[in-house]
A = this chain, B = another copy of it.
Amino acid sequence: MEKEISKAVISRLPRYYRYLGELMEDGVERISSNELSQKMKVTASQIRQDLNNFGGFGQQGYGYNVKYLHTEIAKILGIDRQHNLIIIGAGNLGQALANYANFKKHGFVIKGMFDINPRLIGLVVRGVEIRGVDDLEKFIVENEVQMAALTIPKTKAPEIADRLVKAGIKAIWNFAHVDLVVPDDVVVENVHLSESLMRLSYRASSLQDQKKKEEKKKR
């Protein structure tokens, strides 16, 4: 697929992918943009525009071929192939990721887990042994690891990220509350949980303020 697809569309793709996957599980073979619109609470015209990027929709009156679209979106997202992943930090969050069975379904295979806590090293989570970080680089090369999730404190994250990059990791899923500095050919996706919680707090507070204002007006 050679056509450029906009950032906004890309950011919506995982959600389409999820709904199409659920439809497939329910045995649905095709769906109209109106039906999909009702399910996803997005306008039908937005759906048509977004999915136009993929060409593969049926004629008027047929609707979308669910499996075809699901496959095409998977290709775009790069989840039609296997990604070898390691998790650095085997605390609760790291273990939560390791236990997330869905990842494997989407081609993300957890090859190893690492920690510096001697009490965790040697434990096995979902068939994956927790190792110390001494042989991190060797492990990455031998197991053709492309991605790493960082679930360690922010004080340790930059140093580990440097080691990962030098060992050839091209994608870092960063849960540490710090902005990592990496070369241009490495991508970082941040999940900053406390920032997400602050956005929730902001939205809840501003909704309350709005309500108070409206109540004042009514009096």
Contact of A200 among B13, B41, B171, B200 (CB under 8 A): B171
Contact B78 A206 (CB under 8 A): yes
Contact B197 A108 (CB under 8 A): yes
Contact A201 B79 (CB under 8 A): yes
CA distance A101 to B146 in the complex (A): 31
Stretch at the interface among A28-36, A89-97, A127-135: A89-97
From A99, A196, A204, A206, residue with most partner B Cβ within 10 Å:
A204
Main secondary structure of the interface of A (DSSP, over half): helix
Contact A78 B205 (CB under 8 A): yes
Q: A195: CB under 8 A from chain B? A: yes
Cβ contacts under 8 Å, A192 to chain B: 14
CA distance A146 to B205 in the complex (A): 11
Cβ contacts under 8 Å, A199 to chain B: 10-11, 14, 189
Looking at the assembled complex, report how far the CB atom of A180 sits from the nearest CB atom of chain B, in whole angstroms.
11
Number of identical monomers bound together in the oligomeric complex: 2
Contact A194 B100 (CB under 8 A): yes
Contact A189 B170 (CB under 8 A): no
Cβ contacts under 8 Å, A204 to chain B: 78, 83, 146-147, 170-171, 187
Cβ contacts under 8 Å, A141 to chain B: none
CA distance A158 to B186 in the complex (A): 38
Interface residues of A in 189-219 (CB under 8 A from B): 189, 191-208, 211
- Other than A18-B177, A187-B200, give 16 A-B pairs with Cβ distance below 8 A: A13-B198, A13-B202, A78-B201, A79-B198, A79-B201, A91-B96, A96-B96, A103-B197, A106-B198, A171-B203, A171-B204, A173-B200, A185-B207, A187-B203, A187-B204, A189-B200
